[in-house]
Each structure stands twice: as C-alpha cells, then as structure tokens.
Amino acid sequence: MARAGVTVRPKSEVRFELLDVGLLHIHEELQPELLERTTDQIRTDGYLKRPILVADEHFVILDGHHRYAALKALGCRRIPAYVIDYFSDAVELTTWPNAVVKEVRKEEVIRRGLADTPFPPKTTRHIMRVKLPDVFTDLEDLM
C-alpha cells in the first residue's frame, strides 16, 4: 500500500532504450538475402529508422531480427529498441499466413529465444496495440 503523498506508478508497458547487442536473443532464423539488403540499406543511409522490439526481462527480439543482425555485422555495440512487457495486452502474437508453424504462444517464443532454437523465418507476427514511432538513430551513436 502506498503512503500518503507518495505516487505509485504502474510498470510501463513499453519504453525506448539503447541496448547492448550482447544482451539480445533471436527467436526466428534469418533470411540471408533480406539480411544483405537490410545491411546495405542501413550502411547507405547511415542511420536506423525503426527500433527493434524486445521482450523485457528476457531480452528476446520480437521484431527486427534482420535489423539486429545487420547492425551487429556493421560493428555496432548498441541497438535502439522498444522494450515491452510481452505478456501485457499491448502486444498480440499471431503467425504469418505462409508460416510453417501455424500456432505459437508467447511462452514458446521466449523459450526458443533463450534456448537458441529459433522458429523458421517469418513464423511469428507481433501486432502492437500501442503506437511505436520511428526513432532515427545515427550509426555512429551505436558504435
């Protein structure tokens, strides 16, 4: 119970952070061609436009596997990320129409990320119920 005069704030569902790339875990395999295109685009632009989406506590990447791998390949040590309470209602989990795996649960996404046993590419689809604006971040700020 909060004392009089003390404001207690609920835990935020999502926050923006610059994360160390070494903290992160993937839960889906990469597509080499898409990784190459993404890497080339980021190198040419000199910035990252869209932060990745990461589950708090476990640091499993929910969206942005190719952006993460591209930045890592470019020598970046940090990555802009929206960190979310994955088990909140702010994020819905579905699968892509052509996914090999047709049913997934959030617990399985976390388990696979932590165990390094990723799903095939483009299996999970995360739908955000909160707006996550683009945040342009220069590559030099991520080194």
Provide the annotated active-site residues.
28
Closest CA to 48 of 140, 139, 119, 109: 139
- In order of 27, 103, 130, the CA distances from 41 in angstroms are 23, 32, 27
- In the β-sheet with 78-84, what is the strand arrangement from edge to edge? 14-20, 78-84, 52-55, 60-63
